[in-house]
Structures are given as structure tokens and as C-alpha cells.
Amino acid sequence: MRKIILSIFILLISIISFGFHISPDGFGKRIDNDEGFQEYTFKNMTGKTIRYKFAVLPGKNPEKSMDKWIEFEPKYMTIKEGESKKLKLYAKSPEGAKEGDYNFYLAVNSVTVPGVLDEKKESVVAGTTVGINMNIEMLGWVGDLPAKLKLEKYEIYEKDGKVMFKGFVNNHTEKRFVRYMIEVIGNRGEKATLLGGVLPAKKTNEFDVEIPQFKKKSDVWKIEVRETLDRNLIQTIKL
């Protein structure tokens, strides 16, 4: 677990350092109907013009990889400093694909931007590049599998002058993951958002965290459990 957390931390530091921005940062679509479409916005905050090359790679489990079912455009993208551009991606599973979740990797690699004319010096400056090379795991599923996530055995309590929130999140969904978030909403509009990540089918996450947006536990009005990407509401708990 420590290695996983450290790897995620290093990845986040790398993304922040290079000014890499992609939104949304996942797929999370049903792919055996016409819903398997997603646009991704790439924003350049690197301070330089950057050029990306995109590719789709097989998922970590060959039997559950959907890389052969993906179409996307463009293959290359050049973005000037401060600008944004979109990548369009579409997935459609073939007839007879088994119910359940599937995955692939979206490879994002920076390539050298050709030299450009410096109008002040009337000369061509050398090509530049920003070192961004990463594979982003994307998940989808086949079948009518609505999310059945449930927050259970939860408690909001006070400890050492802090408001704490603990509980268990159980994924009762048949055959597919759920990427979820929990929003804790206060009586005066306060809000704490907990990103739970991806929870595989029939698995449980336990958490115990501080929610510093609240001064006392009686300030909490309700809790909402949602799917992260489309904000689909799964569960509401009023306190």
C-alpha cells in the first residue's frame, strides 16, 4: 500500500511540475451501446508550446482489454502556452462481448516541437520538448450494470477538536467497478469532497479521515455518494 501511495504521489508531482492538465481523467462508460464517447480537454500550462502523440495500449489483463474497440482523434496535438484542445475517443464492443468491466491505457507522450521562426532575431530557434510520458488507465463496461454502491457503518465524530468521518463503502454492483466520490454537505453550504477512486465489484473500502471544512459534527446536513465522472447520484443520507 505504501508503494502504491508513493507512486501516485510521484505521478501527481510530475503532472504538476510539467503543467500537464487533462479533464476528465478517466473514461467510465458503458461500451455496448452508443454511450461510449468521451472528449478530453488538454490544457498547456508548461510555459512552452507542446506537442502530444497519443496511442491506445492493451489493458493489464489481456482477456479484459478493450484497446481493439477504440477509435480516437487526433493522433497528434500541438498546443500553445495557455491554450486548450480536445481529444475525442469512442469505444464500441463487438456483438457477443461478455458482461463486465474492461480497460485500456491511453498513452500520452510529448514529442519535439519543430524549430520556429523567431521574428525578432529573424532566425530559426531549436526545437523544444517537455518530458511528459505516461499511460493513463481507462475503464469501461459491457452490460446493463447500474452502480450499486453503498456507504455503510458510517460515523461523523469529533476527536481532538477535529471533525472526523469514517465508514465502509461496499460495491454491490455485479461484474463491474465503480469510480466514486463522497460529498459531505453542511447546513451553511460547507462541502467536503472525498475521492474514493476505483472500487472493483464485490470489494470494500474502509476510510477514516478528517473533514476540516466543518467545525463540529452537528454542522453536517447530508452525505451524497456519486459516480465521479458523470456525478450520477447513488446514495443520499440525511443526518
**Topology of the domain covering 149-238:** Immunoglobulin-like (2.60.40)
44's grid cell: 498547456
pLDDT band at 47 (very low <50, low <70, confident <90, very high): confident
102's grid cell: 474492461
pLDDT at 46: 82
Mention every residue, 6+ apart, whose C-beta is less than 8 A from residue 36. Answer: 29, 30, 90, 91, 92, 93, 140
Please measure the distance between the N-terminal and C-terminal CA atoms of the chain and give it in whole angstroms. Answer: 33
Check whether domain 2-142 has CATH 2.60.40.10, yes or no? yes
pLDDT over 70 (residue 31): yes
Domain with CATH 2.60.40.10 in the chain: 2-142, 149-238
Q: How far apart are CA 135 and CA 19, in angstroms?
A: 16
Q: How does strand 220-227 pair with strand 178-186?
A: antiparallel
pLDDT at 213: 97
Q: How far apart are CA 155 and CA 167, in angstroms?
A: 6
Closest CA to 108 of 88, 133, 78: 133
pLDDT at 115: 56
Mean pLDDT on 195-205: 95
pLDDT over 50 (residue 12): no
Q: How far apart are CA 180 and CA 199, in angstroms?
A: 8
pLDDT band at 130 (very low <50, low <70, confident <90, very high): low
Beta bridge partners of 150: 170
Closest CA to 228 of 206, 189, 199, 205: 199
pLDDT band at 114 (very low <50, low <70, confident <90, very high): low
Report whether 112 contacts 65 (CB < 8 A). no
pLDDT over 50 (residue 17): no
Residues 156-173: pLDDT tens digits? 999 999 999 999 999 999
User: What sign does the dihedral 46-52-58-64 (CA atoms) show?
Assistant: positive
Give, as one character, the DSSP assignment of residue 98. P
Mean pLDDT on 78-84: 93
Mention every residue, 6+ apart, whose C-beta is less than 8 A from residue 41. Answer: 21, 22, 23, 84, 85, 86
